[in-house]
Amino acid sequence: MNLYLGNLPWSITDAELQDMLSAHGQVTSAKVVTDKFTKRSKGYGFAEMPNDSEATAAINTLNGKEIAGRAITCNEARPREERPERGHGGGNGGFRPRRNF
């Protein structure tokens, strides 16, 4: 079962997230989502637990639990929504460099 964990402390790491969940059973993966430019946590993450009953126990225990002053959200992750594909039209977007000669 895939889990969504929200309102996480900014300082939490992938390893700490995995440790927190492993108290309830086997964790296949745990990942805190980070900003691709600043590498700072976005305050949420995802984890995968192969045993549904263990994942349900983790949800029941962790949802609403306070960690570092923040009440976290833990529930089953919804499937990712398909987003419309963005146009990748070539060209330079109308930008014309200035010529200095």
Q: pTM above 0.85?
A: no
Q: Is the pLDDT score of 75 beyond 80?
A: yes
Sorting pLDDT into bands at 50, 70 and 90, what band is 86? Answer: confident
Sorting pLDDT into bands at 50, 70 and 90, what band is 87? Answer: low
Tens of pLDDT, residue by residue over 32-58, are 999 999 999 999 999 999 999 999 999
Kind of pairing between the strands at 2-6 and 41-48: antiparallel
Residue-range domain boundaries for the chain: 2-76
Q: How would CATH label the architecture of 2-76?
A: 2-Layer Sandwich (3.30)
Confirm if 2 and 47 have CB atoms less than 8 A apart: yes
Mean pLDDT over 86-93 rounds to 59
3-state secondary structure of 14: helix
Sorting pLDDT into bands at 50, 70 and 90, what band is 84? Answer: confident
Strand partners, 66: 71
